Amino acid sequence: MLPRPLALAFVISVTTQSRINAEQKESTTVITTLCDEVVYNGSIASYFDSQLKDTRKRLSDLNEDLTMLTAAYEQNLWIPKAGGYALLAAVTADVRLKQRAQMHGKTKNLQRAIYVLKKRAELLTAVKQPRVKSLAVGNAAFNTDADPDCISTSADKTCAVTLKLTTDDAVKCDKAAITNTNLGKAGEEVDKLTKLKTTATAAFTNNPIPVAVHVAGNSGNNDGAVIGKGARINNAEEFSGATNGFRVPMPPVIPPITAPTKTPITQNDNVGGKCVDKTANPHLIITAKSIGHAVCEARKVELIQEWRHTQLSTEELINDTIAQTYAQLIVHLDMKAGVDENSLKAAVRTPLGK
């Protein structure tokens, strides 16, 4: 039978080891979850990248169509009996212009989504590393060869927080941006990540494109105001007759597509840590909730000023009607203009011109 002090030491040792094993198991589970999310975010980013390429191609096609329609517009502007031809070109160009503006907006949404997702994958990967290293620190703390005043030098060199008890370079860690303080700031991020699968599947609802083209008669103005007799188009289907012919407004000005200017906004969030005393706090335990806080905070380090002028929280990114990054990701790019696609490069025909 073991002496009482030895038996008590044995029980303490077994209990301590059981607790360490449970904490290491929990750490391994969190690391696996992080890895899965990194892969998932990478897959989502790849899908949105393909959507972005398709959107850009459609924008290119719209540019060609607008150029062709504008040329037809100008060519037939003053030709007799060609009012219907130019009129249809005007209506179609107006629709195309509005459609092109919508496509441009969707392109910016996709670019922003891909940027956020790629940054998120990078940050999750960065958060995973200190999680793995914390296991090494915990193991080193119970190593019999550990430094009596601080965790062993080998553990110090792999941890992601500042462990500084002395000024000796051999027993202090390199300073890093993510510390235990950072890891405990904000909490709902991990829970909100589950919303991504739901919100990312929400389809973008196409809004109807209003068309209002006004064509004045001989006594009208180029801006479409009807002073005397003339023709007026209220929408793509409604047309009131004219007795003095048509006078088509000048072709619309087509603004060029320009890429947004990326102005990074950075914030210095380096928080110095403190030495982890072997006797007071022998190992580092980082919870899933604290990792979520770190992701939430790190995500606000760099934003694109062109898109939003404030730093968005996770709640805003999910619920804000303007910045529904995930809800506007999957878009339907099947809008059609008012002209048969097969006849665009031939002749634009309309009964109004006969």
- Residue 204 main-chain phi, psi, to 5 deg: -75, 125
pTM for the model: 0.24
Confidence band (pLDDT; 50, 70, 90) for 17?
low
Amino acid in position 83: G
CB 270, CB 250: distance < 8 Å: no
pLDDT value at residue 53 = 72
CB 184, CB 285: distance < 8 Å: no
Choose between 27 and 222: higher pLDDT: 27
- How far apart are the C-alpha atoms of 278 and 156, rounded to whole Å? 12
What is the crossing angle of helices 4-75 and 288-298, to 10°? 30
CB 71, CB 85: distance < 8 Å: no
- How far apart are the C-alpha atoms of 226 and 241, rounded to whole Å? 12
- How far apart are the C-alpha atoms of 71 and 79, rounded to whole Å? 14
Tokens 């005397």 -> residue? 228
Tokens 């002090």 -> residue? 5
Amino acid in position 336: K
- How far apart are the C-alpha atoms of 69 and 193, rounded to whole Å? 46
Select the highest-mean-pLDDT range: 44-53, 201-210, 261-270: 44-53
The alpha carbon of 190 is separated from its chain's Cα centroid by a whole number of angstroms, namely: 17
Listing DSSP states for 74-91 in one string gives HHTSS-TT-HHHHHHHHH
If you average pLDDT over residues 227-237, what whole number do you get?
Answer: 44
- How far apart are the C-alpha atoms of 78 and 216, rounded to whole Å? 13
If you average pLDDT over residues 296-319, what whole number do you get?
Answer: 39
- How far apart are the C-alpha atoms of 169 and 325, rounded to whole Å? 45
If you average pLDDT over residues 251-277, what whole number do you get?
Answer: 36
The two three-digit tokens of residue 217, written as one number:
């008669």
Q: Where are the beta strands (DSSP E) in the chain?
A: 232-233, 239-240, 264-265, 303-304
CB 349, CB 89: distance < 8 Å: no
Choose between 143 and 15: higher pLDDT: 15
Choose between 162 and 122: higher pLDDT: 122
The two three-digit tokens of residue 322, written as one number:
């303007």
- How far apart are the C-alpha atoms of 31 and 39, rounded to whole Å? 13
β-pairing, 239-240 vs 303-304, is: unpaired
pLDDT value at residue 54 = 72
- Please give the radius of gyration of the chain, using alpha carbons only, rounded to the nearest integer: 32
Query: pLDDT at residue 244 above 50?
Result: no
pLDDT, mean over the chain: 47
- How far apart are the C-alpha atoms of 153 and 116, rounded to whole Å? 37
pLDDT in tens, 39-91: 666 666 666 667 667 766 776 776 676 666 666 555 655 554 445 555 555 55
Amino acid in position 276: V
Strand-pairing partners, residue 233, are 239
